[in-house]
Amino acid sequence: MSDMPKTLMTADIMQIMTYLPHRYPFLLVDKIIEIDADLSCIGIKNVTINEPQFTGHFPTRPIFPGVLLIEGMAQTAGAICVASRFGDAEAPKEVYFMTIDKAKFRKPVVPGDVVEFHMQRTAQRRTMWWYHGEAKVDGQIVAEADLSAMLVFPK
């Protein structure tokens, strides 16, 4: 394990970009406001009308795609996997999203919303991680799912 403190209160976008390979327009976590070791974390996504998906989803009533809420949860979980293992150190790593189970979409997310991705680790075995995630807007659950991922060390 890294020398990461038990609780890191925040990770800004520059730190997140050291944890994840994703970049615009597919980096869906703007900030992490709380990490508790590799047990849980909360990521933030600020939804704006300037995002490319709103040109087609939907032009007259923009709704943030549910699949991107799931991806935001997965990226938040991926960031915690890497952060808990390496901290800010540059290490060869990739997190591969493996499964989605029990996905539910409860309310639409629209431009102007601030989405919180609440991720709770439910299991870990070697380089495999399982999480329960909830996407919340104004404290209300808008989506939830169980996810699994694998930390991979490319050659």
Would you tell me how many other CB atoms lie within 10 Å of the CB of residue 49? 9
- The yes-or-no answer on residue 57 being catalytic is yes
The torsion angles phi and psi of 140, rounded to 5 degrees, stand at -100, 140
* C-alpha span between 1 and 116 (Å, rounded): 27
**Cis ω before 25 (30° cut-off from 0):** yes
* C-alpha span between 31 and 46 (Å, rounded): 9
* C-alpha span between 58 and 83 (Å, rounded): 35
DSSP 8-state class, residue 55: G
Q: Where are the alpha helices (H) located in 20-128, listed in sequence order?
A: 66-86
- Could you tell me how many residues make up the chain? 155
Residues catalogued as catalytic: 57
